[in-house]
Amino acid sequence: MSLILTLACNSQKDGYESEADVFTMVANGTIPPVNGAHNATGILKQLFRDYDKRLRPDYARRAIPITVSLGILSIGNIRTEDMEFTFDVYFRQIWKDTRLVFGSRDIALTLQQEALNEIWLPDTYFENAVKTFVHQETRTVVLYGDGLIIFSQRVTITATTLMNFRAYPMDTQVFRMDILSYGRDIKQLRYRGSNVQLINREMSEFMITKQSVEMDTKELFMGCFDVLTIKFTAVRRIGYYVIRIYLPCVLCTIVSWMAFWMDPAYIGDRSAIGITSLLTQIFLVGSISEAMPRVSYVNAADLFLIVSFSFTFLALFETAAVYRKAKSMCRTENVIPSQEEKKNDITNAESFESNQDESASSNGATAFRNHEKFSPHDDRLKVKLCTNFFGKMKGLDNQLDRIARGLFPVGYTVFITAYFLIFLIDL
């Protein structure tokens, strides 16, 4: 059944009848001037006396070609979280109604408001519109003497379109409008687009790079319908995101590397730099996510933040590794005391034992302090060792810090270069 309907759609498309003069006239912008007719009231009474607005022109004989012309004032109010945007359009439809012939094209009648209720109008609608608002005061029909009709109105359309955010914020989006008849298939109405103009091309967030008009036949439940698709290809302006995302993120990552040039003994100061940079980048991730749709894939901005976050975390991890190495060396390095120090330890120990016996009955607290005073010199040597070790690191330069000073900047620079080359080439 699907194959039969498809063949039927194609065969009817081949038999499309158009009025080339109307199409050329609209495409060239040569709409004839509106010269008012004398005795307009009498003409209207005569025209609508036997006129049935419930039936389309040339009913049961041929499909009526309708030429569509659009003057788009602006594209705005783009909501990426809802994948919606707003069109403000001067929407014009042009066709011929042979039942309303009253002379030549040199004379015309202008109909508005209640008079429009007396004339047949096509049931054109915007398929991907979420909300459509018609400015009633702008609905106007110009009826020429040869039956040519120009129906114009201003429409504000909130439409939805499928957006791909994988390259955000260096992405390209396509804003589209699908125009077709609601209940009349290609046996009754045939659409064709002409003279689509975007009046205001300036947008705060996007830059229009291309516009196109496409015609297609769509197979629906009630038959085959002409679909006129207006597309505007837009590239997102990246300047805002360079200032709000990329530059702060790069600076935070570079600041975290300041720890590589600090004294390893100052573990608190080195850790504070890394933790502050991490928290700042987490805040950047939160601010970006608020304006983004809930998608299940990683976009370009997420990738940049994740890699920058990783570099900052690795810098903090390097600080911990350096301090861990210092503590480990402080515990394992063996310091052999001299013979004189050993004799002093034995003398101090014997003196400590005699003093402990003499003072045990008089003052226990004093004995405890004497014990601390004459205990082995391991703790004092340990403090001396740690002090000497950190001083040695400061003088000879720690190997981990020296490697990190070159590895981190080079690796991050390579990533940034590859990142922008890949996405900007695709753009």
CA distance 403 to 363: 58
pLDDT for 7-58, tens place per residue?
345 444 443 444 556 656 665 556 677 777 788 888 888 889 889 999 999 8
**β-strands 124-126, 172-181 pairing:** antiparallel
E strands, 199-222, in order:
206-220
Please list the residues that pair with 202 across neighbouring strands. 207
Which pLDDT belongs to residue 347?
A: 55
Q: Which residue has the tokens 């004092």?
A: 380
Q: Per the structure block, which two tokens stand in for 402?
A: 């020296």
CA distance 178 to 129: 9
Closest by CA position to 273, among listed 297, 252, 243, 295: 252
What is the percentage of the chain residues whose pLDDT exceeds 70? 75
pLDDT for 50-62, tens place per residue?
899 999 998 888 8
E strands, 182-335, in order:
189-198, 206-220, 223-236
Q: Report angle CA 168, 173, 179 to the nearest 5 degrees.
A: 155
Q: How far apart, in Å, are the Cα atoms of 380 and each of 26, 333, 377, 383?
A: 98, 14, 5, 5
Q: How far apart, in Å, are the Cα atoms of 9 and each of 1, 166, 187, 223?
A: 12, 36, 10, 8
Q: For the beta carbon of residue 166, count every other beta carbon within 10 angstroms.
A: 14
Which pLDDT belongs to residue 70?
A: 92
pLDDT, average across residues 262-284: 84
Which pLDDT belongs to residue 24?
A: 62
Which pLDDT belongs to residue 186?
A: 92
Work out the end-to-end distance of the chain between its first and last CA atoms, rounded to an integer number of angstroms: 42
Determine the residue type at 243: I
For the ranges 78-82, 214-218, 236-240, the lowest mean pLDDT is seen at 78-82
Round the CA-based radius of gyration of the chain to a whole number and report it. Answer: 41
Task: Report helix angle 300-332 to 378-396, nearest 10.
Answer: 130
Which pLDDT belongs to residue 230?
A: 94
Residue of 174 and 330 predicted with greater confidence? 174
Which uninterrupted H or E stretch holds 177?
strand 172-181
CA distance 73 to 79: 18
Q: For the beta carbon of residue 416, count every other beta carbon within 10 angstroms.
A: 16
| Domains of the chain and CATH, by start | 1-236 (2.70.170.10), 240-333+384-426 (1.20.58.390)
Flag whether pLDDT at 367 surpasses 70.
no
